[in-house]
């Protein structure tokens, strides 16, 4: 009878050990699944190929023409080749010479069945008037294998394309990411630019490369992107924006009431829980509730970025003052020229120049790198991609800040504004030349001469007889 309590303890220990074992097995299973995804070869029925050519580089127009003709004339699974989309700017280009292609290969003009964008677009077309059909309907009228893409077509109907080929450098790949702000087809980048961290294929082998991709399938690296949402502060002089709040010391929650009037005669509504980070307010002394005034913000625009979000001081002569939050917790106050929030893909860009670490693209992390911080304690760091990061411009900042998304879409952040950064649900799939790790280490060795130096010579021992 006296042995029953120890038996219960043993059961608890077994239960705890069993639970720990299950968690460990789950973690190992997730890692193994990740490895299998990286090694898997994907086979798909590629029929529509989009070619993105580096802008303002005339020598690449002829290469675009060469690649397009090869893809259209090489017969695949039937009597015809692929449907190829090129930039609409090349429609009247003398170097591309679309008229010459049609004259030399008249069979390319034969009507070719075209994939509809979506069921919703077709249903909307049936309801529209015949005098002004929607733009998707205008896309469907185009015939033949040589077609032309626009930025609007990429953003509104990304599933028109099975595959994307880029001719250029890393900037062309980033431009492709900018074109597809949501769903992205697999991207095969040919190295025709400067450095080329992301371009692992030689255009001299473009025929064999494309044949292998279409016939044998591809290995894909799902590169993480960020969803960056800009929040604007509602003007503090508006009645609807003013809030009276009490932050609870024990839970950290902010309880707030609506104010229907200004001053002491305000008529207050019921209490409601509010998110302190969304208003750029946080912190109170432990053990004591604190009454504060909060200001509302609203989302205005969102961007998908492949490399980085950079928040800097812009043309202002003053040092930037930013508040950094992670999962509603205040991490630090940033006093620096700015802040770079980078993906693992972007770790070889601005973040690296600012002293950030190189990060393998398979590591799910968010890189936070200060730009010339005016402190000795703020070092670059990595946080998990599950964290929700916010960069806020406090109301007491001397100046505004400026944000850029992959070097584009530069916007001004005024006092009270902030940006929320989360891991995107729309990754950027790039085709691997070999394996993911092999491609990445080869790229940093080729472009940065990583870990290359003269080998240290051994000591020479001379023996005297």
Q: Please report, for the domain that includes residue 213, its CATH number.
A: 3.40.50.10330
pLDDT at 454: 82
Q: Tell me the pTM.
A: 0.77
Contact 244, 259 (CB under 8 A): yes
Domain boundary residue, one of 295, 321, 342: 295
Give tens-digit pLDDT for 207-233.
Answer: 999 999 999 899 999 999 999 999 998
Give a yes or no: residue 443 inside a domain: no
Whether residue 183 sits in one domain with residue 246: no
pLDDT value, residue 297? 83
| Segment among 22-26, 158-162, 242-246 with least mean pLDDT | 242-246
- Region 101-123: mean pLDDT is 68
Dihedral pair phi/psi, residue 390, rounded to 5°: -130, 135
Bridge partners (DSSP) of residue 385 are: none
The separation between the first and the last C-alpha atoms of the chain, rounded to the nearest angstrom, is 87
Which domain covers residue 276, as residue numbers?
Answer: 235-295
What local confidence, expressed as pLDDT, does residue 212 receive?
93
Provide the token pair at 401. Answer: 């800040």
Last residue of a domain, one of 202, 224, 246: 224
Same domain, 89 and 211: yes
In a domain, 200, yes or no: yes
pLDDT of residue 105: 92
Place of tokens 């397009």: 68
Q: What is the pLDDT of residue 241?
A: 46
Burial class (CB in 10 A: 0-12, 13-18, 19+), 184: buried
φ/ψ (deg, to 5) at 95: -70, -40
Average pLDDT over residues 288-304: 74
Give per-residue pLDDT as tens, 233-248: 887 554 444 455 565 6
* Interatomic CA distance for residues 189 and 182, integer angstroms: 19
pLDDT value of position 126: 39
Assess if residue 39 is contained within a domain. no
Q: Is residue 5 part of a domain?
A: no
Task: Note the Cα 248 to chain centre separation in Å.
Answer: 36
Which range is least confidently modeled, 16-20, 169-173, 330-334, 445-449?
16-20
Counting the structural domains of the chain, the total is 3
Note the pLDDT tens digit of each residue in 369-408: 999 999 988 999 999 999 999 999 998 899 999 999 999 9
In a domain, 465, yes or no: no
pLDDT of residue 435: 84
pLDDT digits (tens, 9 = 90+) for 47-59: 999 999 998 899 9
Name the token pair of 150: 């626009």
Q: How far apart are the C-alpha atoms of 342 and 307, rounded to whole Å?
A: 6
Residue 308 has a pLDDT of 96
Contacts of 206 (CB under 8 A, 6+ apart): 67, 70, 190
Please indicate, yes or no, if residue 214 is contained in any of the structural domains.
yes
> Is 220 found in the same domain as 264?
no
The pLDDT tens digits of the residues spanning 143-159 come to: 789 999 999 999 999 99
Interior CA angle at 291 toward 332 and 322, to 5°?
20
What pLDDT does residue 114 have? 57
**Window from 82-86, 341-345, 359-363, 450-454 with minimum mean pLDDT:** 450-454
Q: What percent of the chain has pLDDT over 90?
A: 56
Residues 298 and 238 sit within 8 Å (Cβ to Cβ): no
* Structural contact between residues 217 and 294, judged by C-beta atoms closer than 8 angstroms: no
Domain shared by 390 and 417, yes or no: yes
Structure confidence at residue 190 (pLDDT) = 96
pLDDT value of residue 112: 67
For residues 320 and 350, membership in a common domain is answered with yes
3-state secondary structure of 465: coil
Residues 275 and 396 in one domain: no
Question: For residue 124, is pLDDT > 50?
Answer: no
* Cβ atoms of 257 and 244 closer than 8 Å: yes
Instruction: Mark whether 271 and 322 lie in a shared domain.
Output: no
Let me know whether 107 and 229 are in one domain. no
| 362 inside domain | yes
Per-residue confidence (pLDDT) for residue 30, from 0 to 100: 76
- The residue ranges of DSSP E strands in 217-328, in sequence order, are 220-223, 226-233, 242-247, 254-258, 272-274, 290-295, 297-305, 308-312, 320-326
| Burial degree of 118 (CB within 10 A; 0-12, 13-18, 19+) | middle
Looking up residue 412, the CATH number of its domain turns out to be 2.60.200.30
Please tell me the distance from the alpha carbon of residue 144 to that of residue 322, in angstroms, as a whole number: 54
In a domain, 11, yes or no: no
pLDDT value of residue 135? 45
Q: Please provide the average confidence, as pLDDT, over all residues in the chain.
A: 81
**Residues 218, 255 within the same domain:** no
- The helix or strand, by DSSP H or E, that contains position 332, with its residue range, turns out to be strand 329-342
Residues 220 and 88 both lie in one domain: yes
Cross-strand bridge partners of residue 340: 310, 369
Quote the pLDDT of residue 264.
32
CA 256 to chain centre: 35
- Listing DSSP states for 354-395 in one string gives TTPPP--TTS-EEEEEEEEESSSS---EEEETTS-EEEE--T
- Which of these ranges, 67-76, 308-317, 421-430, 456-465, has the smallest mean pLDDT? 456-465
Average of per-residue pLDDT across 304-316: 95
351 vs 338: CA distance, rounded Å:
11
pLDDT of the residue at 24: 85
Residue scoring higher pLDDT (19 or 149): 149
Q: Which of 295, 311, 346 is the last residue of a domain?
A: 295
3-state helix, strand, coil in the chain (%, to 5): 30, 30, 40
User: In the structure encoding, which two tokens stand for residue 398, read together?
Assistant: 């001397």
Mean pLDDT of 344-362: 94
Counting Cα atoms < 13 Å in the Cβ hemisphere of 143 gives 7
Average pLDDT over residues 422-445: 92
Same domain for 85 and 171? yes
Residue carrying the six token digits 């812009």 = 314
Nearest alpha carbon to residue 309 among 364, 227, 232: 227
User: pLDDT class for 6, splitting at 50, 70, 90?
Assistant: low
Which pair of structure tokens corresponds to residue 232? Answer: 């604007």
Same domain, 320 and 365: yes
């Amino acid at each position: 009878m006296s042995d029953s309590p120890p038996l219960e303890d043993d059961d608890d220990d077994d239960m705890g050990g069993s639970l720990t074992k299950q968690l460990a097995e789950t973690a190992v299973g997730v890692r193994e699944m990740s490895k299998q995804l990286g090694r898997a070869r994907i086979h798909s029925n590629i029929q529509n190929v989009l070619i993105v050519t580096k802008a303002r580089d005339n020598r690449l127009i002829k290469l675009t023409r060469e690649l397009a003709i090869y893809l259209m004339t090489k017969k695949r699974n039937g009597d015809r080749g692929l449907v190829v989309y090129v930039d609409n700017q090349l429609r009247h280009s003398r170097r591309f010479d679309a008229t010459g292609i049609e004259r030399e290969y008249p069979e390319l003009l034969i009507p070719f069945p075209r994939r509809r964008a979506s069921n919703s677009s077709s249903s909307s077309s049936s309801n529209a008037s015949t005098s002004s059909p929607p733009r998707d309907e205008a896309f469907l009228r185009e015939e033949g294998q040589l077609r032309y893409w626009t930025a609007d077509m990429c953003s509104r109907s990304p599933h028109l394309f099975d595959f994307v080929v880029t001719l250029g450098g890393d900037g062309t790949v980033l431009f492709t990411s900018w074109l597809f702000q949501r769903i992205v087809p697999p991207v095969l980048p040919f190295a025709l630019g400067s450095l080329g961290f992301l371009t692992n294929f030689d255009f001299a082998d473009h025929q064999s490369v494309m044949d292998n991709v279409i016939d044998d399938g591809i290995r894909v690296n799902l590169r993480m992107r960020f969803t960056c949402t800009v929040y604007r502060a509602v003007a503090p002089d508006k009645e609807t924006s003013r809030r009276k709040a009490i932050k609870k010391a024990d839970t950290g929650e902010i309880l707030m009431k609506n104010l229907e009037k200004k001053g002491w005669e305000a008529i207050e509504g019921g209490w409601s829980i509010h998110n302190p980070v969304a208003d750029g307010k946080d912190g109170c002394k432990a053990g004591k509730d604190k009454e504060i005034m909060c200001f509302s913000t609203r989302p205005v625009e969102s961007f998908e970025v492949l490399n980085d979000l950079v928040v800097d001081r812009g043309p202002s002569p003053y040092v930037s003052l930013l508040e950094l939050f992670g999962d509603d917790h205040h991490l630090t106050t940033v006093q620096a020229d700015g802040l770079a929030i980078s993906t693992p893909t972007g770790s070889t860009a601005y973040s690296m120049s600012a002293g950030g670490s190189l990060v393998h693209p398979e590591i799910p992390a968010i890189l936070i790198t200060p730009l010339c911080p005016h402190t000795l304690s703020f070092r670059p760091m990595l946080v998990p991609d599950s964290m929700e990061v916010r960069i806020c411009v406090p109301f007491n900042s001397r100046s505004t800040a400026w944000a850029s998304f992959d070097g584009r879409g530069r916007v001004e952040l005024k006092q009270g504004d902030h940006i929320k950064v989360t891991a995107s649900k729309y990754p950027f799939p790039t085709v691997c030349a070999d394996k993911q790790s092999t491609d990445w280490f080869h790229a940093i060795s080729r472009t940065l001469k990583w870990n290359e130096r003269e080998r240290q010579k051994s000591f020479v021992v001379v023996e005297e007889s």
